[in-house]
Structure 1
Amino acid sequence: MRLLLIHADIIAYETLSGTKMAETDIVAKDAMQDALVAFCAVESADETDPEDIVAQTAAEILAVAAKVGAVRVMIYPYAHLSNDLARPAAAVSVLKEVTRVLAADSSLEVRRAPFGYYKKFTVTCKGHPLSELSRHLVPLKRGTAADTCLPSQ
């Protein structure tokens, strides 16, 4: 998972047209003020352990939101952060689950921009020291030697 996190005065988007992988039943136009925008690219490696990548992504977004004092989060699919993307169905599933996990935290208002659309958007970054961050999260590959090796005691 590649993340670009922007603490914004405003994030606004409007869908223009769908691609062949566009999801249905969407919010075509939305805006949030004073929000943490999480631009997300789900990568092919994330498909090896989607539960872990969802947990890591949600935890990272929650931690940054707490640090910057954001109570609103916009999950924004942004394939342009990677050249090794997950399959569209897998990416949508991961993004929906990240949104669900974050929304379960009653202190946050969470929304998600639609996947598979060309969108025009506006972001106004707040400009403080933590207002622009990037993260590269890698899923645990359960059952691999790296996961099962323990340090000598």
Structure 2
Amino acid sequence: MRLLLMHADLIAYETLSRTKVAETDIVAKDAMQDALVAFCAVESADETDPEDIAAQTAAEIRAVAAKVGAVRVMIYPYAHLSSDLARPAAAVSVLKETARVLMATSSLEVRRAPFGYYKKFTVICKGHPLSELSRHLVPSQKGTAADTCLSSP
């Protein structure tokens, strides 16, 4: 999982057109103020343990939200962060599970932008020292307790 996290004054998007891998039953237009935006690219390696990568992603988003004082999160599919993407169905599943875990394990308001659409969007980044962070998470090796966050805080 590749993550680009931005603490934003505003995130707003509007779907313009579907791709052939677009999910159905979506929110076509949405906006959040004072939110942590989690741009996410689900990678092929994440398919080996999707529940683990969703749990790790939720934990990382939760931790960063706590550090920056965000109470809202927008999960935003962003394939442009990786050249080794998971299959679309697997990616949607991981993103939905990440949102589910976040909602079950925190008091954060969580929304998810739709997968497989061309969207126009606006982000107004807050600009403080922790307002822009990137992370690379990999599925845990069974039987190890290794830290899988490969970037520095």
Provide runs of 4+ in structure 1 moved above 6 Å. none
Please give the secondary structure, in 1, of the residue aligned with 2:105.
coil
CA distance in 2, matches of 1:15, 1:55: 28
Q: Percent identity?
A: 89
Residue 20 of structure 1 aligns with which residue?
20
Contact 1:48–1:141, Cα closer than 8 Å, also in 2: no
Contact 2:10–2:35, Cα closer than 8 Å, also in 1: yes
Q: CA deviation at 1:71?
A: 0.2
Gaps (5+ residues) in structure 2? 145-153
CA distance in 2, matches of 1:66, 1:106: 10
Normalising by structure 1, report the TM-score.
0.92
Please give the secondary structure, in 2, of the residue aligned with 1:130.
coil
Please give the secondary structure, in 2, of the residue aligned with 1:61.
helix
Residue 85 of structure 2 aligns with which residue?
85
Residue 3 of structure 1 aligns with which residue?
3
Q: CA deviation at 1:51?
A: 1.2
Contact 1:49–1:142, Cα closer than 8 Å, also in 2: no
Q: CA deviation at 1:14?
A: 0.1
Residue 32 of structure 2 aligns with which residue?
32
Comparing 50-59 with 11-20, greater Cα deviation is found at: 50-59
CA distance in 2, matches of 1:99, 1:52: 13
Q: CA deviation at 1:141?
A: 3.9
CA distance in 2, matches of 1:72, 1:78: 19
What is the 5 A alignment of 1:3-152? 3-142=3-142, 147=144
Q: CA deviation at 1:25?
A: 0.3
Structure 1, residues 20-73: CA drift from partner, whole Å, max 9, x if none?
A: 000000000000000000000000000011111011100000000000000000
CA distance in 2, matches of 1:54, 1:104: 13
Structure 1, residues 51-105: CA drift from partner, whole Å, max 9, x if none?
A: 1101110000000000000000000000000000000000000000000111123
Contact 1:49–1:141, Cα closer than 8 Å, also in 2: no
CA distance in 2, matches of 1:106, 1:91: 22
Q: CA RMSD of the aligned region, Å?
A: 1.3
Q: CA deviation at 1:106?
A: 4.7
